[in-house]
Amino acid sequence: MQFIKSGIDINFIGTRKFAFYVSLALIFISVFSLIIHKGPRYGIDFAGGTLIQVKFPSPTDIENIKSGLKNMDLGKSSVQLFGEPTENEYLIRTDKSVATAEGFSDKVKDALKSATENDVDIRRVEMVGPQVGEDLREKALFALFYALLFITIYISGRFESEWFKSGAMAGALIFCVYSLSNFDVSIPFLMAAALIITLVLFWFLKLKYAMGAIAALMHDVTITVGVFSIFGKEFSLPIIAALLTIIGYSLNDTIIVFDRIRENLKRFHKNPLDVTLNKSINETLNRTLLTSLTTLVVVLTLFILGGEIIHDFAFAMIIGVLIGTYSSIYVASPILLVWQEYEKRK
């Protein structure tokens, strides 16, 4: 399918500086929001606590639900409407992990029935201990870090034939991160420091393709997490799955562009690099847009019709697809040009 006419010549590389400023602004806003909110708004998966989903036969005032929970020693709790307003379902979240033994659901049911003067159906009760939540949070960060690191080995080996160099670097980083994680070191800080060190090592080892790819992926993840922080959406295990999916999607898009750049560098080796980069991006633009649009149709359908459970996952995917497409064009590829300009100045 020819979505864009062949021979199109949009000057993407010519607007790279403006795009860099846009990316820096988005990253700054994302990081600032995370600092202000003291990190993402963790769901029960990561923060620990108790989740109770209830359904009433008729509309019920949220304040009455809260008053019914006060005598149950559930700690700080929040109540929100779940699903369509006509369904009269509510999610109750508490920051206290309560032993949900047999009889707990009956106690909740009796307390809510007394406070609301309405019948209530307990749909589900979930409890995650604080230690379990912390362990899950750390494992999720490690999963993202290792995914990014192994991706760099693949990129370095495929485009620069530096399997050993990138593998040794990744192995050393994994060893250092694993060793430091056994001490009292903040895992988020450790992951951030390790990724920055990774970019610095790429620079000195001259692994320009890997640096472009990892910078684009870090750009995508940071902005997606920042958007969740700005909108106050919960960060849970399905969102980690969404971020890993976004990494894979964005990487696939970047590899397509990199492949065409490598081919055109051989065919038009006398052309300036910026001309070759622009030509390569334009030649893959049709495939990039078709892939992005078809993926967006799917995730938009999930977002609108998928229901409350999958709503945040689909939202993360929408942001990730848009940012991932943008970064493949305006972040990953222009880094190759920045590299060449630095080498010329040196």
Query: What would the pLDDT profile of 239-255 be if each residue is shown by its tens digit?
Result: 888 888 898 888 888 88
Overall average pLDDT of the 170-196 stretch: 78
* Residue 223 confidence class, pLDDT cut points 50, 70, 90: very high
136-165 pLDDT, tens digit each: 777 887 888 888 888 888 888 888 888 888
Q: 277 vs 203, 207, 255, CA distance in Å?
A: 20, 17, 13
- With a cut of 90, say whether residue 132 has pLDDT above it: no
Overall average pLDDT of the 68-87 stretch: 75
Structure token digits, residue 152: 């760099």
pLDDT at 150: 85
Are the C-beta atoms of 210 and 156 separated by less than 8 Å?
yes
289-315 pLDDT, tens digit each: 888 889 899 999 989 887 777 888 999
- With a cut of 60, say whether residue 100 has pLDDT above it: no
* Residue 72 confidence class, pLDDT cut points 50, 70, 90: confident
5-15 pLDDT, tens digit each: 666 778 888 88
pLDDT at 248: 87
Query: What own/partner pairs with CB < 8 Å and gap ≥ 24 does 122-125 have?
Result: 122/52, 122/53, 122/54, 123/53, 123/54, 123/55, 123/89, 124/51, 124/52, 124/53, 125/50, 125/51, 125/52, 125/53, 125/100
- With a cut of 80, say whether residue 135 has pLDDT above it: no
Overall average pLDDT of the 84-90 stretch: 79
The rounded Cα 277 to chain-centroid distance in angstroms is 27
pLDDT > 70 fraction of the chain, expressed in percent and rounded: 92
pLDDT at 101: 58
19-48 pLDDT, tens digit each: 999 999 999 999 999 889 888 888 777 777
The domains found in the chain, sorted by start residue, are: 13-43+132-345 (1.20.1640.10), 49-128 (3.30.70.100)
* Residue 335 confidence class, pLDDT cut points 50, 70, 90: confident
Overall average pLDDT of the 81-97 stretch: 77
- With a cut of 80, say whether residue 267 has pLDDT above it: yes
